Amino acid sequence: MTLLDKFSSFLKDQEHLLSIKPDIFGTNIDRMYSPTEASIAGHNVLLAGTNNYLGLTFNKECLDAAHKAIDEEGTGTTGSRMANGNYNLHRALEQDLADFYKCKHCIVFSTGYQANLGTISGLAGPGDVLLIDAHCHASIYDGCKLSGAEVIRFRHNDPDDLNKRLNRLGDRAASALIIVEGIYSMLGDSAPLKEFVDCKKQHNSYLLIDEAHSLGVLGETGQGLVEVAGVGDDVDFITGTFSKSLGSIGGFCASNHSQLDALRYMSRPYI
Protein backbone atom coordinates (compact mmCIF):
# COMPACT_ATOMS: atom_id res chain seq x y z
CA MET A 1 0.00 0.00 0.00
CA THR A 2 1.33 3.42 -0.94
CA LEU A 3 1.03 6.58 1.14
CA LEU A 4 -2.19 7.65 -0.58
CA ASP A 5 -3.86 4.26 -1.09
CA LYS A 6 -5.47 4.41 2.34
CA PHE A 7 -7.72 7.22 1.11
CA SER A 8 -9.41 5.03 -1.51
CA SER A 9 -12.27 3.84 0.69
CA PHE A 10 -12.82 7.35 2.02
CA LEU A 11 -13.01 8.80 -1.48
CA LYS A 12 -15.62 6.21 -2.45
CA ASP A 13 -17.71 7.14 0.58
CA GLN A 14 -17.24 10.82 -0.17
CA GLU A 15 -18.40 10.31 -3.75
CA HIS A 16 -21.58 8.68 -2.46
CA LEU A 17 -22.20 11.51 0.02
CA LEU A 18 -21.68 14.15 -2.66
CA SER A 19 -24.30 12.47 -4.84
CA ILE A 20 -26.90 13.15 -2.16
CA LYS A 21 -28.55 16.55 -2.38
CA PRO A 22 -28.16 18.94 -0.76
CA ASP A 23 -24.42 18.65 -0.19
CA ILE A 24 -24.28 19.27 3.56
CA PHE A 25 -20.47 19.25 3.66
CA GLY A 26 -19.85 21.67 0.81
CA THR A 27 -22.05 24.64 1.67
CA ASN A 28 -20.70 27.86 0.19
CA ILE A 29 -21.78 31.11 1.79
CA ASP A 30 -21.92 33.75 -0.92
CA ARG A 31 -22.38 36.70 1.41
CA MET A 32 -22.98 37.44 5.08
CA TYR A 33 -25.61 40.03 5.96
CA SER A 34 -25.63 39.77 9.75
CA PRO A 35 -24.55 37.32 12.46
CA THR A 36 -27.52 35.10 11.60
CA GLU A 37 -28.33 35.90 7.95
CA ALA A 38 -26.53 34.97 4.75
CA SER A 39 -26.96 34.27 1.05
CA ILE A 40 -26.40 30.67 -0.06
CA ALA A 41 -26.92 29.59 -3.68
CA GLY A 42 -29.01 32.69 -4.33
CA HIS A 43 -31.26 32.17 -1.32
CA ASN A 44 -31.40 34.34 1.79
CA VAL A 45 -31.20 31.98 4.76
CA LEU A 46 -30.99 31.97 8.54
CA LEU A 47 -27.86 30.39 10.02
CA ALA A 48 -29.09 27.96 12.66
CA GLY A 49 -25.77 26.18 13.19
CA THR A 50 -23.54 29.13 14.01
CA ASN A 51 -21.44 29.47 17.18
CA ASN A 52 -21.80 33.26 16.96
CA TYR A 53 -23.67 33.25 20.28
CA LEU A 54 -23.53 37.00 20.99
CA GLY A 55 -23.60 38.23 17.40
CA LEU A 56 -20.37 40.19 17.80
CA THR A 57 -19.11 39.62 14.25
CA PHE A 58 -21.12 42.62 13.05
CA ASN A 59 -21.00 44.65 16.27
CA LYS A 60 -19.93 48.23 15.46
CA GLU A 61 -17.48 48.49 18.36
CA CYS A 62 -15.83 45.22 17.33
CA LEU A 63 -15.63 46.28 13.69
CA ASP A 64 -14.17 49.68 14.61
CA ALA A 65 -11.57 48.05 16.88
CA ALA A 66 -10.61 45.57 14.15
CA HIS A 67 -10.22 48.36 11.59
CA LYS A 68 -8.11 50.39 14.03
CA ALA A 69 -5.85 47.42 14.79
CA ILE A 70 -5.26 46.74 11.09
CA ASP A 71 -4.55 50.40 10.38
CA GLU A 72 -2.02 50.61 13.23
CA GLU A 73 -0.45 47.12 13.25
CA GLY A 74 -0.98 45.77 9.73
CA THR A 75 -2.72 42.57 8.64
CA GLY A 76 -0.51 40.10 10.52
CA THR A 77 2.56 39.55 12.69
CA THR A 78 4.34 37.42 10.02
CA GLY A 79 5.97 35.24 12.64
CA SER A 80 5.79 33.83 16.14
CA ARG A 81 6.02 36.02 19.21
CA MET A 82 9.16 34.16 20.25
CA ALA A 83 10.88 35.06 16.98
CA ASN A 84 9.33 38.42 16.08
CA GLY A 85 8.52 39.88 19.47
CA ASN A 86 5.31 40.73 21.30
CA TYR A 87 2.93 43.40 20.10
CA ASN A 88 1.45 45.68 22.74
CA LEU A 89 -1.95 44.28 21.77
CA HIS A 90 -0.80 40.77 22.71
CA ARG A 91 0.11 41.87 26.22
CA ALA A 92 -2.98 44.04 26.61
CA LEU A 93 -5.25 41.18 25.56
CA GLU A 94 -3.58 38.77 27.97
CA GLN A 95 -3.97 41.26 30.82
CA ASP A 96 -7.62 41.91 29.97
CA LEU A 97 -8.35 38.17 29.97
CA ALA A 98 -6.48 37.64 33.23
CA ASP A 99 -8.49 40.46 34.83
CA PHE A 100 -11.73 39.07 33.41
CA TYR A 101 -11.11 35.68 35.01
CA LYS A 102 -9.57 37.23 38.15
CA CYS A 103 -6.35 35.35 37.43
CA LYS A 104 -2.74 36.48 37.65
CA HIS A 105 -1.55 35.00 34.37
CA CYS A 106 -2.81 34.42 30.84
CA ILE A 107 -1.34 33.26 27.54
CA VAL A 108 -3.03 33.74 24.17
CA PHE A 109 -2.65 31.34 21.25
CA SER A 110 -3.39 31.62 17.54
CA THR A 111 -6.54 29.46 17.78
CA GLY A 112 -8.66 27.76 20.40
CA TYR A 113 -7.46 24.40 19.10
CA GLN A 114 -3.87 25.46 19.68
CA ALA A 115 -4.74 26.71 23.16
CA ASN A 116 -5.66 23.18 24.24
CA LEU A 117 -2.89 21.60 22.20
CA GLY A 118 -0.25 23.93 23.63
CA THR A 119 -1.48 24.10 27.21
CA ILE A 120 -1.91 20.36 27.72
CA SER A 121 1.30 19.33 25.95
CA GLY A 122 3.21 22.04 27.77
CA LEU A 123 1.92 21.19 31.24
CA ALA A 124 2.13 17.39 31.05
CA GLY A 125 4.79 15.00 29.85
CA PRO A 126 6.10 11.46 30.33
CA GLY A 127 5.50 10.38 33.93
CA ASP A 128 2.43 12.59 34.33
CA VAL A 129 -1.20 11.48 34.11
CA LEU A 130 -4.06 13.10 32.21
CA LEU A 131 -7.62 12.16 33.19
CA ILE A 132 -10.08 13.35 30.56
CA ASP A 133 -13.83 13.16 30.16
CA ALA A 134 -14.67 10.65 27.43
CA HIS A 135 -16.57 13.33 25.48
CA CYS A 136 -13.76 15.89 25.43
CA HIS A 137 -13.04 17.79 22.21
CA ALA A 138 -10.55 16.51 19.63
CA SER A 139 -8.14 19.34 20.51
CA ILE A 140 -7.91 17.94 24.03
CA TYR A 141 -7.26 14.43 22.76
CA ASP A 142 -4.57 15.74 20.42
CA GLY A 143 -2.96 17.74 23.23
CA CYS A 144 -2.87 14.61 25.37
CA LYS A 145 -1.25 12.62 22.57
CA LEU A 146 1.35 15.32 21.95
CA SER A 147 2.25 15.47 25.66
CA GLY A 148 3.45 11.87 25.91
CA ALA A 149 1.74 11.58 29.31
CA GLU A 150 -0.39 8.62 30.36
CA VAL A 151 -4.01 9.23 29.34
CA ILE A 152 -6.96 7.82 31.29
CA ARG A 153 -10.54 8.41 30.18
CA PHE A 154 -13.39 8.50 32.69
CA ARG A 155 -17.08 8.17 31.92
CA HIS A 156 -18.79 11.34 30.70
CA ASN A 157 -19.79 13.67 33.54
CA ASP A 158 -19.22 10.90 36.11
CA PRO A 159 -17.38 12.16 39.23
CA ASP A 160 -17.63 8.72 40.86
CA ASP A 161 -15.80 7.10 37.96
CA LEU A 162 -13.17 9.85 38.06
CA ASN A 163 -12.72 9.38 41.80
CA LYS A 164 -12.30 5.63 41.35
CA ARG A 165 -9.57 6.14 38.78
CA LEU A 166 -7.81 8.72 40.95
CA ASN A 167 -7.86 6.27 43.86
CA ARG A 168 -6.08 3.71 41.70
CA LEU A 169 -3.29 6.19 41.02
CA GLY A 170 -2.39 6.56 44.68
CA ASP A 171 0.43 9.08 45.14
CA ARG A 172 0.61 9.60 41.37
CA ALA A 173 -2.65 11.54 41.57
CA ALA A 174 -0.59 14.57 42.66
CA SER A 175 0.89 14.69 39.15
CA ALA A 176 -2.49 14.24 37.47
CA LEU A 177 -4.37 16.85 35.44
CA ILE A 178 -8.15 16.43 35.16
CA ILE A 179 -9.67 17.91 32.00
CA VAL A 180 -13.37 18.70 31.44
CA GLU A 181 -15.45 21.15 29.40
CA GLY A 182 -17.90 23.85 30.44
CA ILE A 183 -20.41 23.00 27.72
CA TYR A 184 -19.84 19.93 25.55
CA SER A 185 -20.28 20.96 21.93
CA MET A 186 -21.73 17.67 20.68
CA LEU A 187 -24.36 17.16 23.39
CA GLY A 188 -24.82 20.64 24.84
CA ASP A 189 -24.63 19.44 28.44
CA SER A 190 -22.45 20.87 31.21
CA ALA A 191 -19.94 19.30 33.55
CA PRO A 192 -20.84 18.78 37.25
CA LEU A 193 -17.97 21.09 38.08
CA LYS A 194 -18.39 21.30 41.85
CA GLU A 195 -18.16 17.53 42.13
CA PHE A 196 -15.07 17.45 39.91
CA VAL A 197 -13.49 20.14 42.09
CA ASP A 198 -14.16 17.93 45.13
CA CYS A 199 -12.36 15.05 43.40
CA LYS A 200 -9.44 17.29 42.55
CA LYS A 201 -9.12 18.56 46.13
CA GLN A 202 -9.41 15.11 47.66
CA HIS A 203 -6.48 13.81 45.60
CA ASN A 204 -4.37 17.01 45.37
CA SER A 205 -4.65 16.91 41.59
CA TYR A 206 -5.02 19.74 39.09
CA LEU A 207 -8.11 20.72 37.10
CA LEU A 208 -8.41 22.29 33.64
CA ILE A 209 -11.73 23.36 32.16
CA ASP A 210 -12.28 24.27 28.52
CA GLU A 211 -14.86 27.09 28.46
CA ALA A 212 -14.93 27.39 24.64
CA HIS A 213 -18.71 27.08 24.34
CA SER A 214 -19.62 28.54 27.75
CA LEU A 215 -17.61 31.78 27.58
CA GLY A 216 -20.07 34.62 27.08
CA VAL A 217 -23.00 32.24 27.54
CA LEU A 218 -22.96 31.14 31.18
CA GLY A 219 -22.52 33.25 34.30
CA GLU A 220 -23.51 36.76 35.33
CA THR A 221 -20.45 38.28 33.64
CA GLY A 222 -20.07 35.56 31.00
CA GLN A 223 -17.05 33.81 32.51
CA GLY A 224 -18.64 30.43 31.90
CA LEU A 225 -19.33 27.41 34.05
CA VAL A 226 -16.69 28.36 36.63
CA GLU A 227 -18.77 31.43 37.45
CA VAL A 228 -22.07 29.55 37.59
CA ALA A 229 -20.59 26.89 39.86
CA GLY A 230 -18.72 29.46 41.97
CA VAL A 231 -15.45 27.53 41.82
CA GLY A 232 -13.19 29.98 40.00
CA ASP A 233 -10.60 29.90 42.80
CA ASP A 234 -10.46 26.09 42.70
CA VAL A 235 -9.94 25.60 38.96
CA ASP A 236 -6.25 25.60 38.05
CA PHE A 237 -6.44 26.32 34.33
CA ILE A 238 -9.14 27.80 32.09
CA THR A 239 -8.84 27.50 28.33
CA GLY A 240 -11.12 29.01 25.73
CA THR A 241 -11.47 30.37 22.24
CA PHE A 242 -12.34 33.65 20.57
CA SER A 243 -14.09 31.96 17.64
CA LYS A 244 -17.43 31.34 19.36
CA SER A 245 -19.03 34.07 21.50
CA LEU A 246 -16.30 36.61 20.77
CA GLY A 247 -16.71 36.33 17.00
CA SER A 248 -13.02 36.38 16.13
CA ILE A 249 -10.13 33.89 16.13
CA GLY A 250 -7.60 32.89 18.77
CA GLY A 251 -7.45 31.05 22.07
CA PHE A 252 -6.12 31.41 25.60
CA CYS A 253 -5.23 29.79 28.89
CA ALA A 254 -5.72 31.67 32.18
CA SER A 255 -4.38 30.58 35.56
CA ASN A 256 -3.18 31.74 38.96
CA HIS A 257 -0.16 29.43 38.74
CA SER A 258 3.00 31.40 37.97
CA GLN A 259 4.37 28.33 36.18
CA LEU A 260 1.98 29.06 33.31
CA ASP A 261 4.48 31.53 31.86
CA ALA A 262 6.94 28.66 31.39
CA LEU A 263 4.72 27.50 28.53
CA ARG A 264 6.02 30.43 26.49
CA TYR A 265 9.31 28.50 26.33
CA MET A 266 8.11 24.89 26.63
CA SER A 267 4.93 24.73 24.55
CA ARG A 268 5.73 24.07 20.90
CA PRO A 269 2.26 25.10 19.61
CA TYR A 270 2.76 28.48 21.33
CA ILE A 271 6.34 28.94 20.15
Angle at CA of residue 183, ends 189 and 28, nearest 5°: 105
Could you say which of 213, 245, 255, 267 is catalytic? 213
244 is catalytic: yes
The answer to whether 251 and 267 are in contact (CB under 8 A) is no
What DSSP state is assigned to residue 239?
A: E
* DSSP letter string, 51-100: --TT-GGG-HHHHHHHHHHHHHH-S--SS-HHHH---HHHHHHHHHHHHH
What DSSP state is assigned to residue 5?
A: G
Q: How far apart are CA 271 and CA 268, in angstroms?
A: 5
The answer to whether 123 and 143 are in contact (CB under 8 A) is no
Could you say which of 244, 245, 255, 267 is catalytic? 244
Could you say which of 8, 34, 80, 185 is catalytic? 185
The answer to whether 119 and 95 are in contact (CB under 8 A) is no
The answer to whether 242 and 54 are in contact (CB under 8 A) is no
* Residues forming a β-bridge with 106: 254
Write the CA distances from 194 to 27, 47, 118, 123, 220, integer angstroms. Answer: 40, 34, 26, 23, 18
Residue 188: which of 215, 208, 213, 222 has the closest Cα? 213
Q: Catalytic residue positions?
A: 185, 213, 244
